[in-house]
């Protein structure tokens, strides 16, 4: 013991969820971790963050002064889009195309449902104004911007209380000059307005998707910018001098200034944190390919991580009107972790469809009234009720016992559902559990197939309140080899914020057939991108920045590209055009199980991802080893209904399990926020990081 405390380097992750705002403070040198939870304050979410920080500061003087990184995840953007609480927004577009947001793609999202509904456009028709100007698809100017007309339109915005302006002109992905010209006029006349340019937000062809994304950006910008400004100044007043990052939807954190300019990039901020944590913890356990599985109260989410990276999608939508049906929402096409959301959570309601089959979701009992077992007036059987009937959950230990469950009400609701089918409560509960898992598996299979990933080779990393309860059954159905349950599964998103690297992504169009590939030019383009990326990452000197190069490639004539990883640095010199083509064909073949030799191949975009990787030095929380035995972690036994019969299962306390221990199924491992269910053939081993690892292939 010495009188001077050891110098600390702290990282704080804080994630705002629907109910709770979570905090994780990690001492990067010792791996010591501190958790805090506050109720979210929806009227001003920054209040819960600041209050929580104050609580942590009180317990640890000098906390903020020692914090090098504070990373923040927020649902503010997605909530504003769903609840329509963004700012009054206007759209300036090419004259004749003011209705793009309302005409959409002219296709119905469900072939048989005639009662279709789409979300209303975020900008009402009277604020969608056409500008006299025109570019050709090549970027050539056909009609110059009518500056006088733009000025006159902008002057009318005052009467409408416009706060934010989206500018989206045809073919601006090819040349952004016209949009910049329009933006200059807007800023000149009204420096107080927020301005979003489609050539900066999403420089990609297809006018509906680009307009929709740019409008969404403009719509949430006043709100997010104000919020971040308040939060930052409150932290500064309290002595914070480190770097403030916001989690973006692709799983890296970005500087506050970038988040403020491109709010749509943080739309899936929270879930991205969870996937990042799964990826990083997997990496520490030596696993680079995995399936992240998060099952909460209303939905389940799955995401594939391959080579340590989570796949991205550009086909994201928010505010889908029809139970997550693709095509029924507002397209936001900035890259988002390719996260599949399924309407199957603990609170999802089971019902019998018109064919006499038991189905689960997408209707949810939510938290009010909640599952029948909550005793808050819900009488519809949910997945949680079925789990309770089957003995998978302990009625007296839900949320560590803070919220006792009513087994009698759960059993009554479940039994009532099965009665017309001649099934008793237990048989019905099995059917609900099966249906829930099967709908998740079916959706996950399609999702993985789209990514070209074979589910049977991916270990599943489970978290969220219901994830560990269902993961063994789900993993068996997918044919997965192994299941991992990380520690702190209840605060995975906040933990992910700390573990995520600071990231900057950029791209550059380079469209050329591979027989005319200029590798020197490509290298130059990549080097320029690397240089600008390093400037963007605070404190980023060349030594700490890792750059990954990709080319989006396709057969000439196709409309979708396959991303091909390319070497950087010295390895570039040994690269040949033939090799690039061969790598494309092999990537194509792994996705579509065939490739062609008689069709030309072309590159479309060069992409660069730069990461400031301080994470290698961050230690993860590691449980102590005291020499305790497994039997000391045994809390008791209870009857569990497994397929094929009822078994009296041992129940273990996860907090008392130590690295090196094994637990043989059937068994239950309980912790505060969740329970891991081990079936007859599953055996769990506790790893160095406190991860529960369940081998399914060895059984």
Cβ within 8 Å of residue 300, ≥6 positions away: 293, 294, 341, 342, 344, 345, 440, 464, 466, 467
Residue 266 DSSP label: G
Q: What angle do CA 26, 341, 85 make, to 5 degrees?
A: 80
Q: Which is nearer to other proteins, 174 or 575 (CB)?
A: 174
Sheet containing 634-642, strands listed edge to edge, beginning at the edge strand earlier in sequence: 634-642, 645-653, 667-670, 675-678
CA Rg value for the chain: 26
Q: Are 272 and 249 in contact (CB under 8 A)?
A: yes
User: Which positions touch other proteins (CB under 8 A)?
Assistant: 96-100, 102-108, 111-118, 124-126, 134, 136-138, 140, 142, 170-171, 173, 205-208, 353-359, 421-422, 430-431, 434-435, 438-439, 442-443, 445-446, 449-450, 555-560, 591-594, 596, 599
Q: Which is nearer to other proteins, 1 or 107 (CB)?
A: 107
CB of 106 to other proteins, least distance (A): 4
Find the DSSP H helices in 204-362.
207-237, 256-261, 269-284
Q: Which is nearer to other proteins, 117 or 152 (CB)?
A: 117
In our burial notation (b when 16+ CB lie closer than 10 A, e otherwise), range 308-347 reads: ebbbbbbebbbbbebebeebbbbbbbbbbbbbbbbbbbbb
CB of 206 to other proteins, least distance (A): 5
Distance, in Å, from the CA atom of 461 to the CA atom of 488, rounded to the nearest integer, reads: 13
442 CB neighbour count, 10 Å cutoff: 12
CB of 268 to other proteins, least distance (A): 21
Q: Which is nearer to other proteins, 40 or 321 (CB)?
A: 321
Segment 628-637 long-range contacts (CB within 8 Å, at least 24 positions apart): 628/656, 628/658, 629/661, 630/657, 630/661, 630/662, 630/663, 632/656, 633/657, 633/658, 633/661, 635/670
Q: Are 178 and 94 in contact (CB under 8 A)?
A: no
Q: Which is nearer to other proteins, 39 or 116 (CB)?
A: 116
CB of 137 to other proteins, least distance (A): 4
Sheet containing 20-27, strands listed edge to edge, beginning at the edge strand earlier in sequence: 33-39, 20-27, 10-16, 67-73, 243-247, 253-255, 502-513, 601-612, 545-555, 562-566
Q: Which is nearer to other proteins, 24 or 350 (CB)?
A: 350
Q: Which is nearer to other proteins, 241 or 357 (CB)?
A: 357
CB of 419 to other proteins, least distance (A): 14
Cα separations (Å) of 257 from 169, 224, 499, 583?
25, 11, 20, 37
Q: Which is nearer to other proteins, 39 or 449 (CB)?
A: 449
Partnered with residue 94 across adjacent β-strands are 131
CB of 623 to other proteins, least distance (A): 38
Q: Which is nearer to other proteins, 126 or 628 (CB)?
A: 126
CB of 94 to other proteins, least distance (A): 9
CB of 287 to other proteins, least distance (A): 25
CB of 133 to other proteins, least distance (A): 13
CB of 500 to other proteins, least distance (A): 29
- Give the three-state DSSP class for 626: coil
Least Cα distance to 283 among 305, 304, 258 occurs for: 305
- The tokens for 42 are 């929806």
Dihedral sign computed on CA atoms, order 591, 592, 595, 598: negative
CB of 677 to other proteins, least distance (A): 18
The secondary structure element, H or E, covering residue 442 is helix 425-451
Q: Which is nearer to other proteins, 43 or 106 (CB)?
A: 106
Cβ within 8 Å of residue 387, ≥6 positions away: 346, 393, 429, 433, 466, 469
Q: Which is nearer to other proteins, 60 or 477 (CB)?
A: 477
CB of 203 to other proteins, least distance (A): 12
Q: Which is nearer to other proteins, 456 or 646 (CB)?
A: 456
């Amino acid at each position: 013991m010495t009188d001077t405390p050891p110098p600390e380097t702290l990282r704080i992750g804080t994630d705002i969820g629907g109910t709770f705002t979570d905090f994780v403070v990690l001492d990067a040198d010792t791996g010591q971790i501190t958790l805090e939870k506050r109720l979210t304050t929806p009227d001003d979410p920054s209040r819960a963050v600041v209050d929580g920080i104050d609580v942590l500061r009180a317990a640890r003087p000098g906390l903020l002064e020692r914090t090098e990184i504070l990373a923040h995840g927020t649902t503010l953007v997605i909530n504003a889009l769903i609840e329509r609480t963004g700012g009054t927004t206007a759209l300036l577009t090419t004259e004749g195309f003011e209705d793009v947001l309302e005409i959409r793609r002219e296709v119905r999202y469900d072939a048989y449902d005639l009662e279709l509904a789409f979300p209303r456009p975020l900008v009402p028709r009277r604020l969608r104004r056409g500008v006299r100007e025109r570019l050709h698809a090549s970027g050539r100017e056909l009609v110059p911007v009518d500056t006088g007309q733009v000025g006159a339109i902008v002057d009318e915005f005052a009467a409408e209380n416009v706060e934010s302006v989206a500018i989206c002109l045809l073919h601006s992905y090819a040349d952004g000059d016209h949009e910049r010209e329009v933006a200059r006029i807007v800023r000149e006349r009204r420096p107080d307005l927020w301005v979003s340019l489609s050539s900066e937000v999403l420089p990609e062809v297809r006018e509906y998707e680009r307009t929709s994304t740019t409008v969404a950006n403009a719509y949430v910008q006043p709100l997010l910018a104000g919020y971040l400004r308040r939060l930052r100044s409150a932290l500064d007043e309290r002595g914070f001098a480190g770097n403030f990052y916001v989690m973006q939807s692709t799983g890296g954190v970005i500087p506050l200034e970038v988040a403020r300019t491109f709010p749509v990039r943080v739309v899936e901020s929270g879930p991205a944190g969870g996937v990042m944590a799964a990826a990083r913890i997997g990496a520490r356990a030596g696993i680079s390919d995995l399936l992240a599985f998060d099952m909460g109260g209303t939905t389940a989410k799955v995401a594939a991580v391959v080579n340590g990276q989570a796949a991205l999608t550009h086909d994201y939508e928010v505010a889908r009107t029809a139970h997550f049906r693709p095509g029924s929402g507002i397209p936001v096409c900035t890259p988002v972790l390719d996260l599949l959301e399924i309407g199957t959570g603990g609170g999802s309601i089971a019902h019998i469809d018109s064919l006499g089959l038991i189905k689960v979701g997408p209707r949810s009992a939510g938290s009010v009234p909640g599952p029948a077992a909550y005793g808050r007036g819900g009488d519809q059987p949910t997945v949680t009720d079925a789990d309770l009937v089957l003995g998978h959950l302990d009625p007296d230990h839900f949320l560590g016992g803070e919220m006792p469950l009513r087994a009698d009400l759960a059993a009554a609701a479940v039994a009532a559902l099965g009665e017309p089918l001649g099934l008793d409560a237990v048989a019905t509960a099995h059917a609900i559990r099966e249906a829930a898992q099967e709908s998740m598996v079916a959706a996950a299979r399609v999702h993985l197939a789209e990514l070209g990933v074979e589910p049977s080779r991916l270990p599943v990393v489970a978290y969220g309140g219901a994830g560990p309860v269902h993961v063994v059954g789900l993993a068996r159905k997918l044919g997965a080899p192994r299941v991992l349950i990380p520690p702190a599964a209840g605060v995975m998103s906040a933990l992910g914020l700390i573990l995520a690297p600071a990231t900057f992504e950029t791209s550059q169009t380079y469209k050329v057939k591979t027989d005319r590939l200029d590798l020197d030019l490509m290298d130059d383009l990549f080097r320029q991108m690397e240089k600008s990326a390093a400037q963007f990452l605070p404190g980023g000197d060349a030594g700490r920045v890792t750059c990954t190069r990709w080319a989006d490639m396709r057969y000439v004539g196709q409309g979708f590209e396959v991303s091909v990883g390319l070497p950087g640095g010295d390895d570039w010199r040994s690269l040949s055009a033939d090799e690039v083509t061969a790598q494309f064909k092999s990537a194509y073949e792994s996705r579509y199980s065939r490739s062609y030799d008689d069709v030309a191949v072309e590159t479309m975009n060069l992409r660069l991802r730069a990461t400031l990787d301080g994470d290698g030095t961050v230690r993860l929380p590691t449980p102590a080893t005291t020499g305790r035995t497994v039997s000391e972690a045994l809390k008791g036994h209870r009857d569990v209904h497994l397929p094929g019969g009822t078994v009296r299962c041992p129940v273990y306390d996860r907090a008392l399990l130590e690295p090196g221990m094994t637990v043989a199924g059937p068994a239950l491992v309980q912790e505060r926020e969740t329970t891991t269910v081990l079936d007859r053939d599953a055996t769990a081993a506790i790893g160095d990081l406190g991860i529960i690892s369940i081998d399914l292939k060895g059984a």
